[in-house]
Amino acid sequence: MERIPILKMGDFLLVTIQVDLYDQLAENLESDLINTISKHSSKGVLIDISAVSIIDSFMGRILGNIAVMSRILDAQTVVVGMQPAVAITLVELGLSLNGVISALNVEKGMDLLRSKMQTSDNEEPEYDDDNE
């Protein structure tokens, strides 16, 4: 069965969708991705949809679902490389994709994920060494 590869890059997962998605493939991707996040306890997911030229309401919903599920498993989702036509379609379909953060390209998406990681690291308290 055809599958979309999920690459592990440190704390992040990289998914590049190079083929047009059909429903079964998208559903498999959803469950594969969630299982992989859980397996590696990943902190972020980067989905590259630059090669996706057509998106329907089902695909939009899957993307939203992936983002919400990742959030539950403590991982941020960034969608990168969305084509203008796809963005127009998503808005016209009324899918606001809440919880999905977008970036223009993979590079910017990676920077975004890293900065998100850093801000969560900074929330940790700083230890005052009064004993010294």
Partner 1 sequence: MGAECIISGIRPEIAQTVVHLGIDLSGITTKASLASALQTAFEMLQLAVVKRKKIVE
In the DSSP assignment, the letter for residue 52 is: -
Between vectors from CA 103 to CA 5 and to CA 49, what angle results, nearest 5°?
A: 35
Q: Is 52 in the site for partner 1 (CB under 8 A)?
A: no
Which residue lies nearer to partner 1 by CB, 59 or 81?
Answer: 59
Q: Which residues share a beta bridge with 76?
A: 44
What's the closest the beta carbon of residue 50 comes to partner 1, in angstroms? 25
Cβ pair 90, 62 in contact under 8 A? no
Which residue lies nearer to partner 1 by CB, 37 or 90?
Answer: 37
Under the rule (CB under 8 A), what is the footprint of partner 1? 30-31, 34-35, 37-38, 41, 65, 68-69, 71-75, 99, 123-125, 127, 131
